[in-house]
Amino acid sequence: MNTDTKILFTDLDGTLLNDQKQISAGNLAAIHMALENGHKIVISTGRALASAKKQAETLGLIMPGCYIIAFNGACIYDIHEKKIIFSETIPLDYVYHLFEEAHKLNIHIQTYDDTQVLTESENDDLFRYCHNTGMEYKVISSVRSELIFSPYKVLVIDYQHHEPLVQFQEQIRTWAEGKIDFYFSCNELLEIVAPDISKGNAIIRLCEQLQIPLEATISAGDADNDISMLQTTHTSVVMKNADPHMHAYATYITEQDNNHDGVAEAIYKFML
């Protein structure tokens, strides 16, 4: 096993990126310094692979040692080699059911192909999501008739009210057991993936492949979908801007928030 290399798993929104969805010069400089010293950087996000790849390319994180965990762990991607290392999808019958249940509550629901968001209706939630993630979208008449492959993730969105998402969660809870896993990445986004898919399990899979011990792992996050990641790595960095309930999962809480080089603080303290 490689005992000298350290590996950082960093969330994007609310962690590596500031509130304007940009990376600071300080965070970027620290990341490049870590890579130059032989360490590895993994973008670990609930975002679609297409969105995460675009972000990584914008940041210049396409060199050896750069990886992406996308869709909350449903896909692991080597961005330098441009190849998928691991993938796990949701069966189509489950996707059909989820769309039907969301429509009963008049909640926006979407899934993805390799390049874009797929949904059955246009609305403000869709427009805001695509603006935030830099993704294109395609409206299809029916997932049941037009979706012909199993997707990595389904996402339910309500940017105005949290309660309808909780209601949807409770509506599908009994049916979902053993079929899917779901959790909030923030109050507005309910993530739905295959069973046992999480950022934490993706970390274990990638570290085994790279022969890096978990003792050399560091994670940085701020939200509920980061919990499994924080619980898995040896050093767990929670951002200053995270909700206080996230502090229980931290070995270290940054002094700076996501708008002021919080990830750089973690890199200098634990990697360099």
* Residue 3, pLDDT score: 60
DSSP states along 75-117: EEEETTTTEEEEE----HHHHHHHHHHHHHTT-EEEEE-SSEE
| Kind and range of the H or E run holding 9 | strand 7-10
* Residue 21, pLDDT score: 87
Return contacts of 138-143, CB within 8 angstroms, 24+ apart: 138/113, 143/95, 143/96, 143/99, 143/111, 143/118
What band does 208 get if pLDDT is binned at 50, 70 and 90? very high
Beta-bridge partner residues of 156? 109, 190
Q: Above 60 in pLDDT, residue 1?
A: no
Q: Above 60 in pLDDT, residue 250?
A: yes
Q: Above 70 in pLDDT, residue 38?
A: yes
What band does 82 get if pLDDT is binned at 50, 70 and 90? very high
Q: Above 80 in pLDDT, residue 211?
A: yes
Taking only the tens place, the pLDDT of each residue in 186-202 is 899 999 999 999 999 99
Mean predicted confidence (pLDDT) in 240-255: 96
Q: Above 80 in pLDDT, residue 22?
A: yes
Mean predicted confidence (pLDDT) in 42-57: 92
What band does 87 get if pLDDT is binned at 50, 70 and 90? very high
Tokens of 28: 């970027």
What band does 109 get if pLDDT is binned at 50, 70 and 90? very high
Q: Going by DSSP bridges, is the β-strand pair 181-186/217-221 parallel, antiparallel, or unpaired?
A: unpaired
What band does 129 get if pLDDT is binned at 50, 70 and 90? very high
Q: Above 90 in pLDDT, residue 253?
A: yes
Mean predicted confidence (pLDDT) in 158-167: 97
Q: Give the mean pLDDT of the chain.
A: 95
Q: Would you say 233 and 203 are in contact if contact means Cβ atoms under 8 Å apart?
A: yes
- Other CB atoms within a 10 A radius of the CB of residue 65 amount to 19
* Residue 143, pLDDT score: 96
* Residue 102, pLDDT score: 97
Between these two residues, 238 and 114, which has the higher pLDDT value? 238
Q: In sequence order, which residues have a C-beta less than 8 Å from that of residue 30 and are 6 or more positions away?
A: 261, 263, 264, 267, 268, 272
Q: Hey, is 243 helix, strand or coil?
A: coil
What band does 203 get if pLDDT is binned at 50, 70 and 90? very high
Beta-bridge partner residues of 44? 69
* Residue 190, pLDDT score: 96
Residue found under tokens 């928030």: 257
Percent of the chain exceeding pLDDT 90 equals 88
Which of 182, 226, 269, 260 lies closest to 9 in space, CA to CA?
226
* Residue 58, pLDDT score: 86
What band does 2 get if pLDDT is binned at 50, 70 and 90? low
Mean predicted confidence (pLDDT) in 147-165: 96
Which of 9, 199, 192 lies closest to 86 in space, CA to CA?
199
